Amino acid sequence: MANPTPQPIEVYTSLPRERDAIGEITRRAGVFNAEEVTTVFELFDDYLRSPGSGYNFFSAKVDGRLAGFACWGLTPLTEGTYDLYWICTDPEQQNRGVGKALFQSVETAIRERNGRMMVIWTSSTAEYHPAVNFYERMGCSQAACLRDFYKPGDDLLIYQKDISKNR
């Protein structure tokens, strides 16, 4: 069977009414615990309440349905460093380029703000290996590893992408 025609992916600034759908995607991703899902809601509420909160959300839609989101923003107390806090694709919409479209939209937005660097915190555990592979495919490299940071046996990995290159 031939691959289906790829659906176009639309990325845009998240809408207030997408709050529940974003929470639902985070839950269904399967890698985030209850505290982390709550954190996504808190950041989304900060984002809705105040544009200066430092948290921006992008949504990705495929075929009229929300397929993923990214949360990113200027890292406090830095000049030109941006955190990609969350990037999450609906498990039913994997391998269609949703994550890549979101990542590239965030990267473009950071460049437009004269950002120099993108930073991503992630975990060393097996369930995050696909995420780590994704960051590496997107041109990020590991800048630090803090052993047992999240809990014993669960290290913090910091990935970084130099955005100042190839302007």
In sequence order, what DSSP letters do the residues of 23-42 get, joined into one string?
HHHHHHHSS--HHHHHHHHH
Check residue 128 for interaction with a copy of itself (CB under 8 A): no
Applying CB under 8 A, among 7, 94, 125, 160 the residue interacting with a copy of itself is 160
Residue 95 CB, nearest distance to a copy of itself (Å)? 27
Q: Determine the residue type at 164.
A: S
Q: Which is nearer to a copy of itself, 109 or 158 (CB)?
A: 158
**Which part of the chain contacts a copy of itself (CB under 8 A), choosing from 18-26, 49-57, 64-72, 140-148?**
140-148
| DSSP assigned state of 165 | T
Q: Per the structure block, which two tokens stand in for 88?
A: 């999450």
Check residue 112 for interaction with a copy of itself (CB under 8 A): no
Binders of a copy of itself among residues 74 to 93 (CB under 8 A) are 75-81
By rule CB under 8 A, what count of residues binds a copy of itself?
25
Q: Which residues pair with 156 in a beta bridge?
A: 123, 146
Check residue 125 for interaction with a copy of itself (CB under 8 A): no
Applying CB under 8 A, among 19, 23, 39, 41 the residue interacting with a copy of itself is 39
**Contact assessment for residue 85 and residue 44, using Cβ atoms and an 8 Å cutoff:** no
Pick from 50, 120, 38, 134: which is nearest to 83 by CA?
120
Check residue 151 for interaction with a copy of itself (CB under 8 A): yes
Alpha-carbon dihedral angle through residues 164, 50, 29, 5, given to the nearest 10 degrees: -70
- Return the residue matching tokens 């960051």: 135
- Return the residue matching tokens 């380029």: 97
**Which part of the chain contacts a copy of itself (CB under 8 A), choosing from 23-31, 54-62, 72-80, 96-104?**
72-80
**Which part of the chain contacts a copy of itself (CB under 8 A), choosing from 53-61, 70-78, 95-103, 105-113?**
70-78
Check residue 30 for interaction with a copy of itself (CB under 8 A): no
